[in-house]
A and B are shown apart, each in its own frame.
Chain A
């Protein structure tokens, strides 16, 4: 039944499905810059295949949640509860719930070779509008800051667009360094190639990730919780096949959040 009133919402919440939010994450030291995103602890999805792979709820590491019983294609997020349980360090930051769509990985941060994505992989869910691109570090890279130049196809299907990603010195595992888009673009359909401008000094390992941000919200501090109700989540839609990922705008160290979401349809 479509949700068209508070009564409908209340009825749907009575039959909500629980979205459990990773209770076992441990602290991440953050990337130290305060200007990048980061995924708490090691990326639960592991190192992506070199030439790239798409992700879904069936992917290893994805958060489990039920399919909508109606057979529908998506849920709505009616409530989000976040609890930070780590002691002694003030852990806050700004959080982003995303759907991980595609990623490639395992590339050396001392190589300046052009990395071409073949075959070109298209998004598994939705259009490219609103999809962001980040460099994802899976093993700490070197201390020399470098840029990655990315060639991509934008939300309108125009290929050969150019984006730039700035790596901080010694960006650590789990860092997501966001791509600066070419003027006029507001999404990505696919990645064509990417190239590091120079060696960072240490090979490490990195790749690119395409993700759809779903909900941005402020965090809280140690041993405190925060709840976002339906009018705050705006009943954002979550595809039934979404590969959900937390992303944190890190304030100092990251933390071990856990909690739950309430999915309604």
Chain B
């Protein structure tokens, strides 16, 4: 039954469809304070993910390796985030997101346009509004700071839009970096190509990720962490087949050992 009242919320928590999803991730070597690191390929529980497909990439789903595995809602129900708790042995912040599309195989030295033409992703009625475009480093590209320009189709279906990222020196594997969308855009439907202004000096291997943020939590005291209840996480809807993944907002050059739990309810 749809959750339309506070009573419905209690009933959904008491129902057998409430699910707790535990996670822990071993510490990762990150770039440093103020930067973001992916936990998608990190070892722990659930098992780690794999480097995505090259070129057009692939569309991770709920049982893709690396995902916090949800159970899809039954019938016409919707799935919601009911709580989010996490701690880290290093102070930082943690974001839970739905990983919609991903690729790899992009080079830090290729100066011609690198064709992508991303595979289409599907998540209910989500069309691209609120979908963020990130880069993810699988093998460090060069230390020469350059600007990456990505051509994409925005949330309204308008193509040939440009997103940019000014790379810092010496990225590390696992680092994620957000791309700045063109003025007026609020999301991304698809990605067409990427091109560097000049060589970074080392090819490396990086990719792009389209993701929908779901919740964030601070881990402000070492190994203590935090818990947010259903109202504090905004009872965010989680799409059927969502590939739930984590990224860390780092305070230093390691992420620390991170563990926590996500509860979902349906109705």
Contact = CB atoms under 8 A, between A and B. Distances in A.
Interface of A: 2-9, 34-37, 76, 92-94, 96, 129-130, 132, 164, 178-186, 213-219, 228, 230-232, 234-237, 249-251
B226 interface: yes
The 6 closest A-B pairs by CB, nearest first: A251-B223, A94-B87, A5-B7, A181-B47, A186-B46, A35-B257
Nearest to B262: A216
B223 A249 contact: yes
A165 B68 CA distance: 20
Given A6-B6, A9-B10, A228-B227, A234 B18 contact: yes
> Contact size class for B?
35 or more
18 contacts: A2-B11, A3-B11, A8-B10, A9-B14, A129-B69, A130-B21, A180-B44, A180-B45, A183-B50, A184-B65, A185-B46, A213-B20, A216-B22, A231-B13, A231-B229, A236-B18, A237-B18, A251-B221
Contacts, number: 151
- Main SS of the interface on chain A? mixed
Interface string B112-132: 000000000000000000000
Interface of B: 6-7, 9-11, 13-14, 16, 18, 20-22, 24, 26-27, 43-50, 63, 65-66, 68-69, 82-83, 85-87, 89, 221-227, 229-231, 256-257, 259-261, 263, 265
Contact of A249 (B11, B63, B87): B87
Given A34-B89, A231-B229, A178 B44 contact: yes
Contact of A181 (B45, B50, B63, B68): B45
Given A130-B20, A236-B263, A218 B45 contact: no
A252 B175 CA distance: 29
Contacts of B225: 94, 218, 249
B19 to A, nearest CB: 8
Given A6-B7, A215-B20, A231-B229, A35 B256 contact: yes
Contact of A94 (B16, B63, B259): B259
B224 A218 contact: yes
A179 B22 CA distance: 13
A148 B10 CA distance: 43
B223 A34 contact: yes
A234 B44 contact: no
Contacts of B259: 37, 94, 96, 216, 249
B10 A183 contact: no
Contact of B45 (A8, A132, A228, A236): A132
B229 A92 contact: no
Contacts of B261: 96, 213, 215-216
